[in-house]
Amino acid sequence: MHQAPILITGAAQRIGLYCAKALHQLGYAVVITYRRHRPLIDELQASGIDCIQADFAHSQGVQSFIDTLKQRYQSLRAIIHNASDWHSDQDGELAEVFDAMMAIHAKAPLLLNQALAPMLNEDKADIVHMTDFVAQTGSAKHMAYAASKAALENLTLSLARKLAPKVKVNAIAPALICFNDWDDDAYRQKTLQKSLLGIEPGEQEVFNTLDWLLCSDYVTGRIIHLDGGRHLNLP
């Protein structure tokens, strides 16, 4: 097993969970964060994946997690920022929604990277930000969310410059990856038609991209778009 662990934030469900399990199966030590405890956390812990509760909605929660991680580990192989939240601009006062989205998607990653980058002392080290297709296109109903993901993409560029050549810093920007169980057929068909390839690729598409970035020696400061050609599917 690789000695220094890979940290994945927000990996108790969906894409983060898939990637955590897949990396663990490849022999990596894996540490994940989760917001709320659920029975799955106990199963992951028993399997050998270290699970740490963390709330990245405020700076105190970020610092508490940093302190806990540094008590347990001396080094990291990679940091994968997957923790996310999703709020419509109508879910409250716009200023509050904006602050909440920026706190989780931009401020927390920045603080974590600043504090944990010195632990990335492996010969090959990575930071990967999970962003979103809307960071480049905007969103009429989710302006705050889109803006926060765009901020994270810009941080990718800044950190790639700051941390080179020691650490590679990249981002993965998915569009549709997998549907929720409750998505109805009408929604699924409408969404599939938005891309050129017209498929639901599944979580493995993100993991394959992540694995490629971890194995690469020469890719940094890049936003990898997983959108099935959606950016070219113009009316």
- What is the CATH classification number for the domain harbouring 83? 3.40.50.720
For residue 118, being part of any structural domain is answered with yes
Tens-digit pLDDT profile for residues 54-103:
999 999 999 999 999 999 999 999 999 999 998 888 888 999 999 999 99
For residue 103, being part of any structural domain is answered with yes
Q: 3-state SS string over the chain?
A: CCCCCEEECCCCCHHHHHHHHHHHHCCCCEEEEECCCCHHHHHHHHHCCEEEECCCCCHHHHHHHHHHHHHHCCCCCEEEECCCCCCCCCCCCHHHHHHHHHHHHHHHHHHHHHHHHHHCCCCCEEEEEECCCHHHHCCCCCHHHHHHHHHHHHHHHHHHHHHCCCEEEEEEEECCCCCCCCCCHHHHHHHHCCCCCCCCCCHHHHHHHHHHHHHCCCCCCCEEEECCCHHHCCC
Tens-digit pLDDT profile for residues 129-184:
999 999 999 999 899 999 999 999 999 999 999 999 999 999 999 999 999 888 89
For residue 71, being part of any structural domain is answered with yes
For residue 67, being part of any structural domain is answered with yes
For residue 30, being part of any structural domain is answered with yes
The count of structural domains within the chain is 1
What does pTM read for this prediction?
A: 0.95
Catalytic residues: 145
For residue 1, being part of any structural domain is answered with no
Range of the domain at 223: 6-232
For residue 174, being part of any structural domain is answered with yes
